Amino acid sequence: MSLSHRKNEGTLLLYVFLFVTTGLVLLALTKGRGVDWQPIIYGAVVTAVFLICHVFLIINKHQGDPYLLPLAAMLSATGLILISRLQPQLAAKQLVWLTIGLICLLLVVLLTREYNRLEEYQYVYIIFGLLALVGTVLFGTEVGGATAWISIGPLRVQPVELVKIFLVIFLASYLEERKELLAQGTFKVMGVNLPHPKHSGPLIIMWGLSVVFLVMQKDLGAALLFFGTFLTMVYIATSRWAYVLTGMLLFLGAAGIAYYLFDHVQTRVSIWLDPWADVEGKGYQVVQSLFAIASGGLVGTGLGLGYPKFIPEVHTDFIFAALTEEMGLLGGIGIILLYIIFLYRGFRIALLAGNGFGMLLAGGLTALLGIQAFTILGGVTKLVPLTGITLPFVSYGGSSLVANFILLGLLLNVSHGAVKHGK
Partner 1 sequence: MENNIRRLAYGLISLFLILILYLTYLQVFQGNKLVGHQQNKRLLAYEAEIARGTIYDRQGRILAETKAVDGKLKRLYPMGELFAHLIGYTSIKYGKTGLEQAYDRLLLGLNDEQKLDNFVNRLQGQPQVGNDLILTVDSQLQGLGRALLGNRRGAVVALDPRNGEVLALVTSPSFNPNLIEKTWAEISGDEEKGILVNRATQGIYPPGSIMKVVTGAGALVKDPLLGQATYDCPGYLQIGDYRLNDLAVHGQVDFNRAMAVSCNTTFGQLGIKLGPQDFYDNALAFGFLEDIPFDLPVKAGSLPEPGQLTKAGLAQSAIGQGKVVTTPLHMALVAAGIANDGVMMRPKVVAQVRSGDGSILSNPGEKKWKNAVSSQAARAVKDAMVQVVAEGTGRSAQLPGLAVAGKTGSAQNPHGATHAWFIGFAPADQPRVAVAVIVENVGYGGREAAPIARQIMGKALEITR
Binding site for partner 1 (CB under 8 A): 26, 29-32, 232, 235-237, 239, 279-280, 287, 290-291, 293-298, 302, 305-307, 310, 324, 329, 332-333, 336-337, 339-340, 343-344, 347, 350-351, 356, 359-360, 363, 367, 370-371, 373-374, 377-378, 381, 383
Nearest distance from C-beta of residue 194 to partner 1, angstroms: 19
Query: Residue 395: which region, alpha, beta or left (left: phi > 0; alpha: psi -120 to 50)?
Result: beta
The minimum distance between CB 290 and partner 1, in angstroms, equals 6
User: Is 157 or 391 the residue whose CB approaches partner 1 more closely?
Assistant: 391
Q: In terms of CB distance, is 296 or 409 closer to partner 1?
A: 296
Between 40 and 44, name the residue whose CB sits nearer to partner 1: 40
**Smallest separation (angstroms) from partner 1 to the CB of 134:** 31
Distance CA 79, CA 85 (A): 10
Identity of the residue, 10 or 354, whose beta carbon is nearer to partner 1 in the bound complex: 354
Beta bridge partners of 149: 141
Residue 355 CB: number of other CB atoms within 10 A? 16
Distance separating alpha carbons of residues 359 and 168, to the nearest angstrom: 12
Least separation, in Å, of the C-beta of 21 and partner 1?
17
Report the alpha-carbon distance of residue 165 to residue 340 in Å, rounded: 20
Select 168 or 350, whichever has its Cβ closest to partner 1. 350
Q: How far is the CB of 291 from partner 1 (least distance, A)?
A: 4
The H or E element containing residue 284 is helix 284-296
SS3 of 219, please? coil
Q: Which residues are CB-neighbours of 93 under 8 A, at least 6 positions away?
A: 398
What residues does 143 pair with on adjacent strands?
146
In the bound state with partner 1, the residue whose beta carbon lies nearer, of 10 and 378, is: 378
- Closer of 232 and 316 to partner 1 (Cβ): 232
User: Are the C-beta atoms of 169 and 120 separated by less than 8 Å?
Assistant: no
Query: Shortest distance, CB of residue 85 to partner 1, whole angstroms?
Result: 14
CA distance 333 to 352: 28
Residue whose CB is less far from partner 1, 77 or 359 = 359
Rounded to an integer, what distance in angstroms lies between the CA atom of residue 176 and that of residue 357? Answer: 6
Q: Are 162 and 226 in contact (CB under 8 A)?
A: no
Nearest Cα to 171, choosing from 136, 137, 123, 213? 123
State in angstroms the smallest separation of the CB of 278 from partner 1. 11
Measure the CA–CA gap between 64 and 215, rounded to whole angstroms.
Answer: 37
Of 70, 53, 78, which Cα lies nearest the Cα of 9? Answer: 70
233, 176 Cβ separation under 8 angstroms: no
Minimum CB distance to partner 1, residue 30 (Å): 6
- Measured from the CB atom, the residue of 278 and 313 that comes closer to partner 1 is 278
The answer to whether the beta carbons of residues 235 and 241 sit under 8 Å apart is yes
Report in angstroms how near the CB of residue 68 gets to partner 1 at its nearest.
Answer: 15
